[in-house]
Structure 1
Amino acid sequence: EPLLKTDGTHGLAAAACVLTPITPSDGIENVLRHRISGDNRCGIGLGRIQLTIKYGPRNNLVIVVHKIEKLEKEEDGELPDPYVKLYLLPDRSKDSKRKTDVIKDSCNPVYDERIEYALSPNELTQRTLEVNVVNKKGFFHLQKSNIMGQVLIDCGLLDPTDITNWYDLQTPMDEGDD
């Protein structure tokens, strides 16, 4: 739709999608990630999650799960009951598992929950943070998986100057136990 510019003329909105291929190292081939300038979605995909990740001076990895945007509704049109489940891989034990609260009936839940892991700087470089967005309603339905999307973050590549980011949810590579 034309927009009225400040000089009184009409122009087109500059919100065209830019397609960025996902590399084979991401584990998914022949898939495109759709983006609009400003990091908004084109309405395609599994949604996205905003996280703050930093390594603290007390040898602790601090994760703040801020919010999720644009989760898909269930097949029957019902809104999901999402929560976030984290593991510090390669450890998939109960000691490594952390969860947020469940937000009922929301495609855009807000958490602002802080999660911590104690680990040395050497351990940090050898770990991957697995972030799963899980639909609590999935436990009561006969469906293959209740994981709505997943992000894998190599802790050895964390940038200490860039701690709050949006991450696009991907199709789960490995379904964890719950």
Structure 2
Amino acid sequence: MNVSSVDFSMDKVPLRQSSTVSIGRIKPELYKQKSVDSEDEAKGHVEICGKLSFSLRYDYEEQALVVKILKALDLPAKDFTGTSDPYVKIYLLPERKKKFQTRVHRKNLNPTFDETFCFPVAYDDLCNRKLHFSVYDFDRFMSHDMIGEVVVDNLFELSDLSREAVVWKDIHAATTESVDLGEIMYSLCYLPTAGRMTLTVIKCRNLKAMDITGSSGNPQADKAHIKANRGLN
């Protein structure tokens, strides 16, 4: 793999040396200007795009979380005909390689899915996981429209999961700030004698699928080094 590098000129940075490796979430909000709408969202204003019903239960014998997607109500019309062709994708984050998807329901704003999926996971690990439901409108010839999403951060707030618990949740319109794009690992190294900082992008993981094939293009992030000279005021 070809490796390229980025140098940042640090004329006014105190001469001290540090070397750290960090891993964290990719935050798209850092790469765009804040708008009035995004400020409203930060204050708790979120558009509701219907409701989603599902049930949760833990199967101790199989050591799996059993998720049954029941139905959706009052979905918005995404097609010019005044209806939608909805389906649901489901992840047990932070793992993105394992996902499930319901059948597509044609021309239906109140679909009944009634489909069951099992995520192999240890019971003690459930406190570190969260469920992510993405509701889409199917399109045969174009990219599918995302209607909204439901995120369950704390599974044990809903039930102890020893018996099936039916849940209704509002479907929130997806915003750039709410989309989990994955994780990035990088290192920073400052060279005092040259007044230069080097940023090394090491790798990415759990990247969100962006292509219609269910994957992403080559992000060129594995052990990539980016270099550029840039003065800081």
Name the TM-score, length of structure 2 as normaliser. 0.53
Which residue in the other structure is 1:131 paired with? 133
Which residue in the other structure is 1:56 paired with? 59
Q: Give the alignment partner of residue 120 of structure 1, picking from 122, 125, 130.
A: 122
Which residue in the other structure is 1:157 paired with? 157
Q: Give the alignment partner of residue 80 of structure 1, picking from 80, 84, 90.
A: 84
Which residue in the other structure is 1:171 paired with? 173
Which residue in the other structure is 2:111 paired with? 109
Q: Distance in 2 between matches of 1:65 and 1:104?
A: 17
Q: Distance in 2 between matches of 1:80 and 1:134?
A: 9
- Assess if the C-alpha contact under 8 Å between 1:131 and 1:152 holds in 2: yes
Q: What letter corresponds to residue 81 of structure 1 in structure 2?
A: D
- Assess if the C-alpha contact under 8 Å between 2:57 and 2:66 holds in 1: yes
Q: Distance in 1 between matches of 2:79 and 2:141?
A: 14
Q: What letter corresponds to residue 90 of structure 2 in structure 1?
A: L
SS at 2:107's partner residue?
Answer: coil
Please, what is the CA RMSD of the aligned residues?
Answer: 2.3
Following TM superposition, the consecutive aligned residue runs of length 4 or more in structure 1 with deviations greater than 3 angstroms are none
Query: What residue ranges of structure 2 are gaps of 5+ in the alignment?
Result: 1-40, 182-207, 215-233
Q: Note the alpha carbon deviations across 1:20-68, whole angstroms, 9 max, x for none.
A: xxxxxxx7534168xxxxxxxxxxx300010001112221100111100
- Assess if the C-alpha contact under 8 Å between 2:46 and 2:173 holds in 1: no
Q: Distance in 2 between matches of 1:76 and 1:133?
A: 18
Change in 2 beyond 3 A, CA 1:46/1:28: farther
Identity %: 25
- The structure whose Rg is larger is 2
Q: Note the alpha carbon deviations across 1:75-111, whole angstroms, 9 max, x for none.
A: 6243111111001101111xx1101111111100001
What is the correspondence of 1:89-104 to structure 2 with a 5 Å cutoff? 89-93=93-97, 96-104=98-106
Q: Distance in 2 between matches of 1:57 and 1:83?
A: 29
Change in 2 beyond 3 A, CA 1:90/1:110: same
